[in-house]
């Protein structure tokens, strides 16, 4: 998809800001559609997939969330601290939005355990390379990039999560999942819609206020889409297939 024309180093006017938002929304929608065409998601959506395998895949995805989320939160606070200090409204809004995220790793761990996962194992293992790379993106933004990259990555993070969560909830209910196994997806299917709207409105204000901000936001978006979610989910998917045994190969599951 061709990027819109952004004049380097300039703030956007109202019409340009609206077009920029439409542009990144289209990029996120295209990314969503590509994820839904992946082997893992086609396996989950296939009514012929063994419910036990579907539950195992979601269990392992929750383990990945638990492993990366605390580091995303820590790096996010560092990024927010590097925003323009005079813009207290910007810092306040982003801080409050991130405050809602601080316990979500533990929320994912709770569902991982409810789905049959082992807490001691989860708390003792290293992150997968994909989860480490994803966390590294946020820390590298904080270390050496413009802090506005944060919004370019956080916007699709908040925007895609309710899309995936709502679909996951429907699939999980179809497997006979109990309420105590669905806390993470039920919460995020609803809560992150408001978070995405907040970040969207913040992006619009920022690109109209700060010269060059749109370039940094788009860079953050592109980095995010390279790393999330499929590289991380692939580790979860392969673990679930391995645990299910040879009768559940990727070919036979999809």
Please indicate, yes or no, if residue 41 is contained in any of the structural domains: no
State the pLDDT confidence band at 5, using cuts at 50, 70 and 90: low
Number of domain units in the chain: 1
Q: Which of 132, 136, 154 lies closest to 216 in space, CA to CA?
A: 154
CA 167 – CA 115 distance, rounded (Å) = 18
CA 221 – CA 5 distance, rounded (Å) = 16
Please indicate, yes or no, if residue 200 is contained in any of the structural domains: yes
pLDDT(74) > 60: yes
Please indicate, yes or no, if residue 63 is contained in any of the structural domains: yes
CA distances from 61 to 31, 46, 163, 167, 239 (A): 19, 18, 15, 14, 10
Which CATH number is 113's domain given? 1.20.910.10
Phi and psi at residue 163, to the nearest 5°: -65, -50
Please indicate, yes or no, if residue 128 is contained in any of the structural domains: yes
- pTM for the full model? 0.91
pLDDT tens digits along 21-73: 999 999 999 999 999 999 999 999 999 999 999 999 999 999 999 999 999 99
Residue with tokens 């801080």: 95
Confidence at residue 4, expressed as pLDDT on a 0 to 100 scale? 55
Please indicate, yes or no, if residue 36 is contained in any of the structural domains: no
Confidence at residue 134, expressed as pLDDT on a 0 to 100 scale? 98
Please indicate, yes or no, if residue 39 is contained in any of the structural domains: no
CA 225 – CA 218 distance, rounded (Å) = 11
pLDDT tens digits along 75-132: 999 999 999 999 999 999 999 999 988 999 999 999 999 999 999 999 999 999 999 9
Q: Tell me which residue range forms the domain holding 210.
A: 14-27+49-253
Please indicate, yes or no, if residue 142 is contained in any of the structural domains: yes
Residue with tokens 């601080």: 102
Please indicate, yes or no, if residue 5 is contained in any of the structural domains: no
């Amino acid at each position: 998809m061709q990027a819109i024309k952004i004049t380097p180093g300039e703030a956007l006017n109202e019409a340009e800001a609206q077009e920029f938002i439409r542009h990144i929304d289209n990029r996120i929608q295209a990314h969503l559609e590509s994820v839904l065409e992946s082997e893992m998601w086609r396996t989950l959506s296939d009514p012929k997939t063994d419910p036990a395998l579907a539950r195992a895949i979601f269990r392992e995805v929750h383990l990945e969330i638990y492993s990366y989320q605390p580091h995303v939160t820590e790096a996010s606070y560092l990024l927010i601290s590097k925003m323009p200090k005079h813009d207290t409204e910007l810092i306040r809004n982003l801080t409050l939005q991130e405050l809602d995220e601080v316990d979500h790793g533990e929320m994912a761990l709770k569902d991982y355990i409810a789905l049959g996962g082992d807490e001691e194992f989860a708390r003792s293992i290293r992150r997968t390379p994909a989860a480490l790379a994803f966390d590294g993106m946020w820390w590298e933004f904080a270390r050496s990039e413009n802090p506005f990259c944060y919004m370019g990555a956080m916007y699709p993070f908040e925007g895609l999560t309710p899309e995936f969560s709502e679909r996951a909830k429907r699939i999980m209910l179809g497997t006979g999942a109990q309420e105590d196994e669905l806390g993470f997806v039920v919460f995020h299917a609803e809560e992150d819609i408001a978070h995405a709207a907040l970040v969207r409105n913040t992006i619009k204000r920022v690109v109209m206020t700060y010269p060059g901000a749109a370039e940094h936001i788009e860079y953050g978006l592109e980095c995010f889409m390279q790393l999330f979610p499929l590289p991380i989910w692939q580790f979860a998917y392969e673990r679930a297939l391995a645990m299910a045994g040879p009768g559940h190969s990727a070919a036979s599951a999809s």
